[in-house]
Structure 1
Amino acid sequence: MAVARGSVAGVLALAKLRELDVTWRLLRAEHADVVAGLLGAHLGGETRRMPAEDLVELLDADFDALRGQGFDLPRSATAYVTEWRTGGFLLRRPAEDSRGETLELSPEALTAIRTLGSLAEPRSSVTESRLASIAAQVHRLAIEVDPDVERRVTALRAERDELDARIARLQAGEVDAPDPDRVAEGIRDVLQQAQEMPTDFGRVRARFETLNRDLRERIVQADDSDRHVLDEVFRGVDVITDSDEGRSFAAFTALVLDPAVGAALEEDLDLLVASPGGSGLTASERRFLSRFLGTLRDHGREVQSVVTTFARGLRRYVQTQEFQREQALRRLVQETLALGIDAARSTKPYRETGVELPLSSLTVRSAGAVALFHPGELDASAPIVDRPPTPVDLAALRAIARETEVDWEELRGAVAAVLAHRGSASVADVIAARPATQGVASVAGLVTLASETDAEATGEEDVTWRGLDAVERRARIPRLVFHEVPG
């Protein structure tokens, strides 16, 4: 019966995994071949992240080509991208250099694409180089954990003697050319493991995101007897950085960013690619190996930036006491639920309460529903009628100009006529002798002309004029005296 219970438990665990695991969901999706083929080509190679609009544009062209090959893809690329994002195949993140968003494959989707890729291009998993690598690693671990010091010393001396013998043979000119097939086999094993590294980075980033969310939930749910995380953050400890995942990733990043390690790794990769065994590599495989260390550094810096951002955000979340508002909201929600449970014993949930809650009047619409104006749709079918030219009425033009412009020539003529009979005259004197034909515009024009002659104000005076509506008006203005006709 124990075996039966274990078998049933295993089936139940797999059934739960089938419903929740994104990798399994992609493998049994209706268009799994389309998802894996297109997303793997656009986001599974050297390009790991792309603006959403660029990916949609590429997929539109791919869908047109696939429909021509008989694939049933009735919806648009935008609809499929939304479905794949909801299904967990794509991750959406805000773009760093714009207001848009970027899309990238989730770690689970990358795993599924790798699995399907291994089915399409099967490779032998039992190779001599892989077995030799496993044996060498097991041997090194066995030496490190062996409690017998004498055996450890003997094993290390044997390794040293073997290295000395190889050095002596090389110095004597005995150079054994490696088998190109074995070298190629080892390179492909290394390549296969290296291609899995970006997936591991994606899992690390997802793990840090989950850890950040869990820590915030613990802070909100913490009571007076469980405030360990809160106290740690208040003391300035980066809980995320000091977690097991944070310490492991920090050690890995330090190793990758070590200049000595990086230089040695790049030199070794260049030797492998240039060796006879590397001649069978494709151009994409050569490019991947040549950029491998740079890719690791880029992913490492990206994840390190995410860790730092999460740690700072968590500290700011606590220090600004934002968590207290969420704690208060959580208590209110719990109290409301408790009251609802009590009320459910005597009140039906569909009973009318008589309380009206006005909803927001904001209408949320998709940006895709906005229709752009098309100038070509403007109705210009009415014929254009040519009007014969008419003679210009100079009197009418002059009248229009006087309504909009000050008649400076008329004002200068009025000043000249008054000064011809007297040595000086103020603005009021000019208006009294020559009426203001433009109303207040004539008064303002005379004041402007007097100011241009550097006339100084010698007190104030009253000015009376009759406006264009024949109504008499009066104003008090500075007394400005003309001694000459303004130019």
Structure 2
Amino acid sequence: MTNTRAEAAYVRSVNAFKTPTLHLLHRRSAPFVVAVLSLLFTADRPAVAVADAHAELGEVLDELRAAGYDEDERRLPSGSARDICREWVRAGWLLPQIEGDTEVYRLSAHAVGALEITGRTGGGRARVSNSRVRTLLEAVERLAGDAEVDPARRLARLRQEREALDAEIARLEDGFAEPADDEELLEEAENILHLARELPADFTRVAESIKAMQRDVVADLRRDVRPTGEVLREYLERGQHVMQATAEGRAFAGALRLIGDPERIDALTEQLHDLLALPFSRLMDAAQRDELQAVARRIELGVQEVLTAQRRASHVITGQVKTHDPVRDRQVDELLRDVIAGLQAWTSTSSPDAPVTPVRSLPNAAIRHLRQSVSDLRAPGRPAPLTDDPADVEFVGDDTRAWGGPRYAELEAYVAGLGDEFDLGDAFEGADDETRRPVDLLGLLEIAHRNGMTESERVSVVEALRPDGTSRRFAFGAVTARTMREHDHD
């Protein structure tokens, strides 16, 4: 008979060891991986440029190989620093990203979890302390209180808490304040460090869940064949509410209400600074003091990492939706499948060392000019020269000239009889109907500008008559023009 409980426990253990976290710790070179990752990535340095990571990893390799650590059972990995980082990316410990114009590495949630496990077991004193037990009891008590639905029992609990607070206030008002033991304060500080070590992995898991949701949305969008309008409505809404699309994101949104206030982070930083100035902090080693001082910075960087992932996911989803074209996407997919099929066919018939001729340039398209006429493209002869004599101009009907430009000759003759100065708006209103077209108003303004005019803040309104009998009203700054006499030409 099969032991079902044993099988279930064994399957859970096998699945756990398949995760990148335990796979990292199970490797022979796990001490080297953990040491390098802890050196490259710190609370103040969550992202490292790829070139810098390769250079620093190469220096660590040279130092350890020179010290002889490559000869014992904890063998160092072979290959260059670039090859090692690529292997870590494939294993899921490093995440390559583009930030600005620089490619950087970030720790995955699995790598952060592995570092947290080794830091908890290798550093500090892992023990059952009063602080940890009290934290557990208070958490259970708070959960039970929040889940309580009986108003009477909740009131009784609140009154009990108020009585305890009143008693503490009375003792302090009487001047009695029992000093805390340094050993107890140290336990409290170690408990804070224990809780703080779990935060980076939690933040990274939230960011990775958002990125995974982003990839799923983009993949679903490429496979979507629904109308673009329906796709836009659904996916834009998911992009705007990306934080609520995952369980980790919803949990983070609730926690952000507690830690997202900059004033709260500043207050936390000040409190940690004051704690490190107390006598009990001398019982902590230098690493613990640095870690305690960096708690606020860890929280700030974790929140920033998650919000950056949220903004990037919203931007990517929105951009994909705006450029969504199912027909084009299918064409691209078919083209890629054809390329992959051709590559497989070529590799099946060629040797591994067969040379590949690169395509250095694309062929030029041979495009020629198409004739637009079947007749001879050469003109039969030069056209007759134009003449300046108005008498030679012939108009076909009155409508041809009526829809033309200003009648300069008529306008200049009309202006010559208006005296030395005249108001341009009044002059236009008094002209004949044939010279009161909109274009004639422009011609009259041109003549006034050429002869000299003065503008004022007053507004003139005139009504122009178009050749088809309709009228249009124009408003412009009032203009006083003068008439050019014969002596003005001299």
Shorter-chain TM range is 0.5 to 0.7
Query: Counterparts of 1:322 and 1:254 in 2: how far apart (Å)?
Result: 39
* Superposed displacement of residue 162, structure 1: 0.9
Contact 2:210/2:243 (8 A) holds in 1:
no
Which structure 2 residues correspond to residues 309-348 of structure 1 after superposition, within 5 A? 309-322=312-325, 324-330=327-333
Partner amino acid, structure 1, of 2:216: D
* Superposed displacement of residue 334, structure 1: 9.0
Contact 1:269/1:290 (8 A) holds in 2:
yes
Match among 279, 282, 287 for residue 282 of structure 2: 279
Match among 166, 169, 189 for residue 168 of structure 2: 166
Match among 87, 91, 97 for residue 93 of structure 1: 97
Match among 208, 212, 216 for residue 218 of structure 2: 216
Structure 1 equivalent of residue 130 of structure 2? 128
* Superposed displacement of residue 322, structure 1: 4.4
Instruction: Indicate the SS of the match to 2:57.
Output: helix
Instruction: Indicate the SS of the match to 1:241.
Output: helix
Query: Counterparts of 1:349 and 1:92 in 2: how far apart (Å)?
Result: 32
Structure 1 equivalent of residue 429 of structure 2? none
Contact 2:243/2:249 (8 A) holds in 1:
yes
Query: Counterparts of 1:12 and 1:270 in 2: how far apart (Å)?
Result: 47
* Superposed displacement of residue 30, structure 1: 2.9
Match among 95, 99, 106 for residue 104 of structure 1: 106
Structure 1 unaligned runs (5+)? Answer: 340-347, 353-357, 364-487
- Matched residues, number: 346
Confirm or deny that 1:113 pairs with 2:118: no
Partner amino acid, structure 2, of 1:93: Q
Query: Counterparts of 2:6 and 2:255 in 1: how far apart (Å)?
Result: 38
Change (3 A) 1:259 1:169: same
Change (3 A) 1:360 1:210: farther
Instruction: Indicate the SS of the match to 1:206.
Output: helix
Query: Counterparts of 2:16 and 2:193 in 1: how far apart (Å)?
Result: 30
Identity value in percent: 27
Structure 2 equivalent of residue 50 of structure 1? 48
Confirm or deny that 1:30 pairs with 2:34: no
Contact 1:234/1:318 (8 A) holds in 2:
yes
Change (3 A) 1:68 1:324: same
Query: Counterparts of 1:160 and 1:221 in 2: how far apart (Å)?
Result: 59
Instruction: Indicate the SS of the match to 1:50.
Output: strand
Structure 1 equivalent of residue 6 of structure 2? 7
Match among 169, 175, 178 for residue 176 of structure 1: 178
Structure 2 equivalent of residue 481 of structure 1? none
Confirm or deny that 1:252 pairs with 2:255: yes
Structure 2 equivalent of residue 203 of structure 1? 205
Query: Counterparts of 1:5 and 1:227 in 2: how far apart (Å)?
Result: 52
Structure 1 equivalent of residue 82 of structure 2? 78
Instruction: Indicate the SS of the match to 1:92.
Output: strand
Confirm or deny that 1:300 pairs with 2:297: no
CA displacement, residues 44-81 of structure 1 (integer Å, 9 cap, x when unaligned)? 45422211222222222222221122222453323222
Query: Counterparts of 1:327 and 1:253 in 2: how far apart (Å)?
Result: 41
Contact 2:239/2:313 (8 A) holds in 1:
no
Worse overlay, 5-14 or 82-91: 5-14
Partner amino acid, structure 2, of 1:164: D
Change (3 A) 1:79 1:65: same
Instruction: Indicate the SS of the match to 1:47.
Output: coil
* Superposed displacement of residue 168, structure 1: 0.8
Partner amino acid, structure 1, of 2:279: P
TM-score by length of structure 2 reads 0.62
* Superposed displacement of residue 124, structure 1: 2.3
* Superposed displacement of residue 163, structure 1: 0.6
Change (3 A) 1:45 1:263: closer
Contact 1:44/1:110 (8 A) holds in 2:
no
CA displacement, residues 428-455 of structure 1 (integer Å, 9 cap, x when unaligned)? xxxxxxxxxxxxxxxxxxxxxxxxxxxx
Q: Which structure exhibits the higher relative contact order, with contacts defined as CA atoms closer than 8 Å and separated by 6 or more residues?
A: 2
* Superposed displacement of residue 192, structure 1: 1.6
Partner amino acid, structure 1, of 2:90: T
* Superposed displacement of residue 323, structure 1: 5.3
TM-score by length of structure 1 reads 0.62
* Superposed displacement of residue 187, structure 1: 0.8
Query: Counterparts of 2:357 and 2:230 in 1: how far apart (Å)?
Result: 41
After superposition, the CA RMSD in angstroms is: 3.5
Contact 1:51/1:103 (8 A) holds in 2:
yes
Partner amino acid, structure 2, of 1:12: V
Partner amino acid, structure 1, of 2:284: L
Partner amino acid, structure 2, of 1:315: T
Partner amino acid, structure 2, of 1:14: S
Query: Counterparts of 1:199 and 1:113 in 2: how far apart (Å)?
Result: 9
Confirm or deny that 1:69 pairs with 2:67: yes
CA displacement, residues 275-310 of structure 1 (integer Å, 9 cap, x when unaligned)? 333232333433333343233223312321221121
Query: Counterparts of 2:230 and 2:9 in 1: how far apart (Å)?
Result: 36
Change (3 A) 1:112 1:301: closer
Change (3 A) 1:320 1:169: same
Contact 1:233/1:239 (8 A) holds in 2:
no
Query: Counterparts of 2:193 and 2:322 in 1: how far apart (Å)?
Result: 46
* Superposed displacement of residue 312, structure 1: 2.0
* Superposed displacement of residue 189, structure 1: 0.7
Contact 1:241/1:311 (8 A) holds in 2:
no
Query: Counterparts of 1:103 and 1:237 in 2: how far apart (Å)?
Result: 25
Structure 1 equivalent of residue 366 of structure 2? none
Change (3 A) 1:250 1:143: closer
CA displacement, residues 76-109 of structure 1 (integer Å, 9 cap, x when unaligned)? 323222222222222212242x4x4212222211
Query: Counterparts of 2:123 and 2:68 in 1: how far apart (Å)?
Result: 24
Query: Counterparts of 1:284 and 1:161 in 2: how far apart (Å)?
Result: 40
Partner amino acid, structure 1, of 2:160: A
* Superposed displacement of residue 273, structure 1: 2.4
Contact 2:231/2:321 (8 A) holds in 1:
no
Contact 2:124/2:190 (8 A) holds in 1:
no
Instruction: Indicate the SS of the match to 2:149.
Output: coil
Instruction: Indicate the SS of the match to 1:103.
Output: strand
